[in-house]
A and B are shown apart, each in its own frame.
Chain A
């Protein structure tokens, strides 16, 4: 029972990450009709927003160790600590959640720049060319990051207070062994919040209405005299912010390195097609579904009979769904059919 519950939690958590990335991808698919292979890079850039923000917060005085003469060995003391004492230390401790404040405008700008500078010129080109150019862009972005931040993962601790595990088992009156990291619980709730906000935004605002209409029939909306182009630029920015936020919050779970985007890219594409291309609820549902499936597949009971199934289950399910339900779980007719 414990094992099942903890795998369920873990699956939901994985699923939350998949769903968040897939959500942005689908937004771009559905509205702009662009297959963006650089979406994983946006996720990675988000994580590096957190890294940069932490670096800024911890700009330090270097207290040099005089006993070593042939290179400068020092202990760092952050300015924030010197100026504000414990308050400063607390700010540094909360670097990751605080960096959301920086990530939103930065990712929005990056998204807008990408759309204006590159993606826009590819609306009319074939999907193959869109894939290729964004694949190239992804490589460039990741190499630039490597140039500035190095190849090693950079540790990004969660705030001290939530750096350990929550006694989920005790709350539910189950075994003490059932614990789950606080930060992963926060990630799960945060994702639900972001997903909820995106849906609310699309359902409740006029802007969202136009975008949804555009997803349904772009030409028609254009005929109505609405400047779809401009709306689409903003949608791309929004997708970029969602991917970035997913990255920021993921940093304490997986120390960011330049390659993390590519690792998530294939998975998130699979999630999108399983959900049904162009369907936002589909992307979210498929994300959680595949996350939970993967998690259960890695349980010892399962791997006893089907060793290694956790490595392939997602792709297996994707192939089966694509063959039996050509439009994925919730795909609509006419989206990306060719």
Chain B
């Protein structure tokens, strides 16, 4: 039994690895196989997987996870500025530091549950955002955003080589491999696979089971003598570290950190992705990330000219009406589509797209079964 379980885990991981690493190939018919979008898929994938460990398993709705994205990004950029353009220290420090902040925020916020927890995290999010935006300007460079400069110390780099600054800025690298373009994607993708593996392990572990039990009935857990808080705080820290990793990867693929990453609406975005894909399922959040990031990139770039082209098979008058009808939802109206999509999912499909698939699948299998029954009856 146990061996079989391990095997199926391995099988899932193998499939997952292939699917992720071959993204540049199978996404090309969709026009989504360019490095920046692929990197975004992987980075937000890590973010959503981590968020799902908290929200999906325990049901605690946090609006504060953008804090850890921001902390991860700022730490990574500072690592680039002070230590080295190598990405390893950046992601290690980014993740760890986000973990420390997550421990602080989690320890305090998790003293309360339900709506109070959500609003506490909201308050923390707003507080950190305001801090980064104006108060801590020396550390964050405020609204302008923190960037690397040619004159930064970069102690480690200077230790090992005589860096001659030829006017241009150095770029992020992993022992000589540049972290922009496709190599950047493969780097983030490997970390995504690792993150997915950890999440798979957590889902199937006794720890994960306890988290699920908290979601279904916290009181009963408490009555049976379990102190739920340590588990919750641990889950919070883990998901915070995932977010920190995602944040530092954002800086890795593009060495810039801005306060807007920390706004509570940015936390709202990850909630949206998780919900859309399917809360508490393994793959759901990733699916949500893919859908939202893809649509965002495609939809927001559509303009009226593209629309006219798209409907060009229609007669002129119909073409024009279609463009008038559709144009509020694309381009600058992309947020409207997002909002509507989101409402529809929450109202009709609280389990997200994954639940939708399940429903369709059930219907088909049911029909088949019914047919079988019928035939058997005859």
Interfacial residues, chain A to chain B (CB-CB below 8 A): 35, 118, 121, 125-129, 131-133, 135-140, 143-144, 147, 262, 266, 269-270, 273, 277, 307-308, 311-312, 315-316, 318-319, 322-323, 326, 336-338
Across-interface contacts of A322 in B (CB, < 8 A): 112, 116, 119-120
Q: With A35-B115, A273-B116 in contact, do A133 and B122 touch (Cβ < 8 Å)? A: no
Contact check, A133 vs B115: say whether CB atoms are below 8 A apart.
no
Closest to B341 in A: A136
> Taking the nearest CB of chain A, how far is it from the CB of B142, in angstroms?
11
Contact check, A121 vs B347: say whether CB atoms are below 8 A apart.
yes
Contact check, B120 vs A319: say whether CB atoms are below 8 A apart.
yes
Across-interface contacts of B68 in A (CB, < 8 A): none
Q: With A131-B61, A137-B343, A337-B114 in contact, do A315 and B123 touch (Cβ < 8 Å)? A: yes
Interface string of B254-288 (1 = CB under 8 A from A): 00000000001100100100010000000000000
Contact check, A127 vs B343: say whether CB atoms are below 8 A apart.
no
Closest to A128 in B: B61
Given contacts A140-B336, A143-B339, A147-B333, 9 further A-B contacts (CB under 8 A): A133-B343, A133-B346, A139-B335, A277-B116, A311-B131, A311-B135, A315-B127, A322-B119, A336-B115
Across-interface contacts of B333 in A (CB, < 8 A): 143, 147
Contact check, A266 vs B339: say whether CB atoms are below 8 A apart.
no
Interface size class of B (residues with CB under 8 A): 35 or more
Q: Which of A121, A132, A273 has the most CB of B within 10 A?
A: A132
Q: State whether the Cβ of B306 lies closer than 8 Å to any Cβ in chain A.
A: no
Contact check, A147 vs B275: say whether CB atoms are below 8 A apart.
no
30 contacting pairs across A/B (C-beta < 8 A): A127-B118, A128-B59, A128-B61, A133-B343, A133-B346, A137-B343, A140-B343, A143-B333, A143-B335, A143-B339, A266-B123, A270-B122, A270-B123, A273-B116, A277-B115, A307-B135, A308-B134, A308-B135, A311-B130, A312-B127, A312-B135, A315-B123, A315-B127, A315-B130, A318-B120, A319-B123, A319-B124, A322-B112, A322-B116, A322-B120
Bound CA–CA A126/B215 (angstroms): 12
Partner of B339, one of A118, A128, A139: A139
Bound CA–CA A147/B329 (angstroms): 10
Across-interface contacts of B131 in A (CB, < 8 A): 308, 311-312
> Taking the nearest CB of chain B, how far is it from the CB of A300, in angstroms?
16
> Taking the nearest CB of chain A, how far is it from the CB of B285, in angstroms?
15
Interfacial residues, chain B to chain A (CB-CB below 8 A): 59, 61, 108, 111-116, 118-120, 122-124, 126-127, 130-131, 133-136, 218, 264-265, 268, 271, 275, 328, 333, 335-336, 338-340, 342-343, 346-347, 350
Across-interface contacts of B130 in A (CB, < 8 A): 308, 311-312, 315
Contact check, A269 vs B122: say whether CB atoms are below 8 A apart.
yes
Partner of B115, one of A127, A132, A140: A127
Q: With A137-B343, A311-B135, A312-B135 in contact, do A269 and B119 touch (Cβ < 8 Å)? A: yes
> Taking the nearest CB of chain B, how far is it from the CB of A63, in angstroms?
31
Bound CA–CA A126/B350 (angstroms): 11
Across-interface contacts of A277 in B (CB, < 8 A): 115-116
Contact check, A323 vs B135: say whether CB atoms are below 8 A apart.
no
Across-interface contacts of A135 in B (CB, < 8 A): 268, 342
> Taking the nearest CB of chain A, how far is it from the CB of B360, in angstroms?
22
Partner of A147, one of B112, B134, B328: B328
> Taking the nearest CB of chain B, how far is it from the CB of A319, in angstroms?
6
> Taking the nearest CB of chain A, how far is it from the CB of B338, in angstroms?
7
Contact check, A270 vs B119: say whether CB atoms are below 8 A apart.
yes
Partner of A262, one of B134, B265, B342: B265
Across-interface contacts of A127 in B (CB, < 8 A): 61, 114-115, 118
Query: B interface, by DSSP: helix, strand, loop or mixed?
Result: helix
The 10 closest A-B pairs by CB, nearest first: A308-B135, A139-B339, A143-B336, A136-B343, A315-B127, A136-B342, A140-B339, A311-B130, A315-B123, A128-B61
Bound CA–CA A312/B130 (angstroms): 7
Bound CA–CA A226/B87 (angstroms): 66
Closest to A273 in B: B119
Closest to B131 in A: A312
Q: With A132-B346, A312-B130, A312-B131 in contact, do A326 and B115 touch (Cβ < 8 Å)? A: no
Bound CA–CA A323/B346 (angstroms): 31
Closest to B339 in A: A139
Contact check, B126 vs A140: say whether CB atoms are below 8 A apart.
no
Closest to A320 in B: B108
Contact check, B339 vs A336: say whether CB atoms are below 8 A apart.
no
> Taking the nearest CB of chain B, how far is it from the CB of A216, in angstroms?
19
> Taking the nearest CB of chain B, how far is it from the CB of A155, in angstroms?
23
Closest to B264 in A: A266
Partner of B127, one of A262, A316, A337: A316
> Taking the nearest CB of chain B, how far is it from the CB of A235, in angstroms?
19
Contact check, A266 vs B112: say whether CB atoms are below 8 A apart.
no
Partner of A140, one of B118, B136, B268, B340: B340
Across-interface contacts of A140 in B (CB, < 8 A): 336, 339-340, 343
Bound CA–CA A140/B268 (angstroms): 14
Bound CA–CA A326/B108 (angstroms): 12
Bound CA–CA A318/B119 (angstroms): 9
Bound CA–CA A273/B116 (angstroms): 7
Closest to A307 in B: B135
Contact check, B135 vs A132: say whether CB atoms are below 8 A apart.
no
> Taking the nearest CB of chain B, how far is it from the CB of A88, in angstroms?
35
Closest to A319 in B: B123
Across-interface contacts of B119 in A (CB, < 8 A): 269-270, 273, 318, 322
Bound CA–CA A74/B339 (angstroms): 38
Q: With A35-B115, A140-B339, A143-B333 in contact, do A132 and B122 touch (Cβ < 8 Å)? A: no
> Taking the nearest CB of chain A, how far is it from the CB of B102, in angstroms?
16
Contact check, A319 vs B122: say whether CB atoms are below 8 A apart.
no
Bound CA–CA A262/B123 (angstroms): 14
> Taking the nearest CB of chain A, how far is it from the CB of B139, in angstroms?
12
Across-interface contacts of A270 in B (CB, < 8 A): 119, 122-123, 126
Contact check, B124 vs A315: say whether CB atoms are below 8 A apart.
yes
> Taking the nearest CB of chain B, how far is it from the CB of A18, in angstroms?
14
Contact check, A144 vs B336: say whether CB atoms are below 8 A apart.
yes
Bound CA–CA A140/B112 (angstroms): 31
Contact check, B114 vs A336: say whether CB atoms are below 8 A apart.
yes
Bound CA–CA A307/B130 (angstroms): 12
Across-interface contacts of B108 in A (CB, < 8 A): 319, 323
